[in-house]
Structure 1
């Protein structure tokens, strides 16, 4: 407990200085090099990127339970005139929707510019100058790959549906120069290249989940809130799955599954897996954020004002599919409240129920955002065995999640095991609410999308699954 409190104090201090550093720099300004003369300066810059990603335009809202989960048809705006009610109908060019989408593109590339600035300044120093030189470089490369991959998934077609599609600009330098759009396959190559180099550096240096290095300082504490080795491997599993290379995706997923640091939470603790906190069992990488509980309170908990989201009317049907047993997710994540300022049905999965009610959490945990968790890797491995015609192994890995949530599973020990891709995706949809993943999964499989409020079915197309690139991105090229 003392160690966690000390860590929280250090993080609050560092993140305050990081946010100040990021905020005072005008858009496009070449940042001076004075920060990058010491190890502490590089650490401040890296923490600054993590803090930046945790803000509302990105993973503090829109890339998790916000915009991306509205197009994933989990939520709708509680106020009829809210722009999200145009978004759930895929009116991406609506005058209030388009700026929200543009902000994702612009914010992500701004984050990439911060990383590139750090990496370029790091390269000016000899690798022996800082004890954690390779860790700084690896985290930077991993973050750069991650942000480009997130942009690629939203603003380009699926490589499975169109291998010849246009990708995105892969920006590797801190420069004013315009970066060309790559073919989608080249975008993937660069993402994988950066992730693999990050993996190599972290593996060579040694991770700090299972060892202590007094010379390394506080930067290596709580590796779950850093782009750590297992985060890189888990994200490579996601990238290869998205690319359609299930075998390589499975191999990377197993590297994480087989390590001793992550496990599924007990079904009775489902309510507290990620309600404003980073799971200490399932999360492979998270973003530390003291502000995240405030964001989710305003949007997911409160039932007044203009900014709150309601669960869609058909939310229960999601969990009633393949419901053999008692699904704690439905019971704990969706609750009917009668609190002051929060009445009716609310999705509480990422809401810190202690903070919104001004109570103290019994056990101190890191506040923040869960970026990638163990269940996603079990789904990948299950799918691999399914397409390999090994039904029993497919059920074994799917059941790792299903049974941990209170259901009876697909392998009942009677010698009859039946699992389909639909079963896997049904559970993905249940599990990944508020994490910004389901829309990407629908896109991966080119699914049609049902919108329950207007009783419309949207057929899979570029108009649905590809966000428009900001107009000014093309204006800069003319």
Structure 2
């Protein structure tokens, strides 16, 4: 990573503390003062650790671009015709100013966060003993998984079509804190490093409280600040990492491994009451609808600016050249004109105000009751995805049973034994992950030759590596 990123990380760490060190700056290096002050207390360690989650919610990462914005535009989720401000993104014109800046910012923010993660891992070893070994394992396990997740999503976005070109150049991998560029590795070598990080993370998270108290439970098993090590559904916990491993293995073409990982999560969630399916009444509750199906989320990222982003992207008062909204014919096709689907009714409505005649997106709209546990949350890993992975990797015809379980819990009838399972899985990806950033990566993983054209009432776009592979920013290429 380029040298200036070290300065970015330094400023990032400064923002996480309230320590005033201006009196000492003339005699001691600034970064050493900050590090000593920060890592000498458990609270300081927690501040830096929590800061990584705040960074994940950055607009350039999962707070916006990698969930509801850029990657959803690439998946043709919205109608963005030639007058729309994001038209050049929806047409994959990566050399144009808007997409070029967008994807450059995603890259830089991702690798800055990776750099910060590596600095945390280095420092917690250097200041060993400030937190207990049990706490250290938990914190390190989460951070290593964050590092793996970011590398994986950069590989999915900027790397080759893995199904056809796994040995083509991928991305650099940073598993240590360095301030110089690592070489760009073949995609399959990056995948090996991602999986190694996930396995290490799972070892460190073997005693994750989520396995005994669930994602919302409170534990005093670690002593001290019990709340920081509780509420595991808002952290990269053991089950979320296992789900990420299933996602990675499937992307790599290892269906056996992906099936095993997904089924481990499914078996766990079926054996206890920690992750019940969200009911129709909960999803469509008139007063406080749970549109993100929060009970099913293995890990949801907290974003306290979420509702500002909802208004910036989806609010009915926005002009047609700014709102992120699909054509009604396209939306009806996704849900097969079935409003009984739990995912349709609460999240897609013709708004009362704003003069819009099409349905607009309400998934991340705030609710009146400010104490609802699911407020400010963006789904990152869900049990529904594990059922889709299990369906795709099962020996025929067993996959239909996994699909039917998901469909039953979305208010849909069972599929017959003779359906084309790939077609049905694709339909579910279109419905299940709107505003969550997974559809484009699904299309790229299966190397779909065409995808529906979001700016036309019918017809498809031809997809090749020119559309699927986002070019690395100049700032990276020029320093290789």
Question: Which band: TM-score by shorter chain?
Answer: 0.7 to 0.9
* Aligned-partner Cα distance in 1 for 2:418–2:281: 26
1:116 corresponding residue in structure 2: 118
Residues 224, 285 of structure 1: 8 Å contact kept: yes
What residue number does 2:229 align with?
A: 220
TM-score normalised by structure 2 residue count: 0.85
Contact 1:19 1:52 in 2 (8 A): no
- Quick one: which of 12, 15, 19 aligns to 1:20? 15
Residue 323 (structure 2) aligned to one of 308, 311, 325: 308
- Structure 2 runs not aligned, ≥5 long: 1-11, 20-29
Quick check: 1:288–1:367 contact (8 Å CA) kept in 2?
yes
Against the structure 1 CA distance between its residues 88 and 291, is the aligned structure 2 distance closer, same or farther, given a 3 Å change threshold?
same
Residue of 244, 253, 262 corresponding to 2:253: 244
Pair 1:155-2:169 in alignment: no
Aligned twin of 1:9: none
Q: Within 5 A, what are the aligned runs for 1:194-343? A: 194-204=197-207, 207=210, 209-210=212-213, 212-214=219-221, 215=223, 217=225, 218-259=227-268, 260=272, 261-271=274-284, 279-305=293-319, 307-313=322-328, 314-320=330-336, 326-339=340-353, 341=354, 343=356
Mapping 1:61-140, distance limit 5 Å: 61-77=64-80, 80-82=83-85, 84-126=86-128, 129-130=131-132, 131-140=134-143
Displacement of 1:472 after TM fit? 1.4
Q: Which residue of 2 aligns with 1:383?
A: 392
Q: In the alignment, which residue of structure 2 is the partner of 1:422?
A: 423
Residue equivalent to 1:467: 470
Aligned to 1:183: 186
How many residues align? The count is: 441
- Partner of 1:297, secondary structure, is helix
- The whole-number CA distance in structure 2 between the counterparts of 1:165 and 1:30 is 38
Q: 2:51 aligns with which of 48, 57, 75?
A: 48
- RMSD, matched Cα: 2.8
Q: CA deviation at 1:127?
A: 5.8
Shift of residue 291 of structure 1?
1.0
Measure the CA separation in 2 of the matches of 1:109 and 1:275.
36
Over 3 Å counting, the alpha-carbon distance change for 1:65 and 1:128 in structure 2 is: closer
CA deviations 1:340-391 (Å, max 9, x no partner) are x47443443522242xxxx335744442211111111100001112xx22x1
Shift of 1:125: 3.3
Cα distance change on mapping 1:467 and 1:76 into 2, 3 Å? same
Name the counterpart of 1:142: 145
Q: Which moved more, 1:156-165 or 1:225-234?
A: 156-165
- Normalised to the residue count of structure 1, the TM-score between the two structures is 0.85
Tell me, yes or no, if the aligned pair for 1:277 and 1:367 is still in contact at 8 Å: no
Provide closer, same or farther for how the CA distance between residues 331 and 205 of structure 1 changes in structure 2, counting only shifts above 3 A: closer
Q: CA 1:184/1:363 → structure 2, altered by over 3 Å: closer, same or farther?
A: closer
CA distance in 2, matches of 1:176, 1:183: 21
Which 5+ residue runs of structure 1 have no aligned equivalent? Answer: 1-16
What corresponds to 2:24 in structure 1? Answer: none
| Structure 1 or 2: more strand by fraction | 1
Equivalent residue, structure 1, for 2:408: 403
Question: Residues of 2 paired with 1:295 and 1:69: CA distance?
Answer: 14
8 Å Cα contact 1:276-1:367 kept in structure 2: no
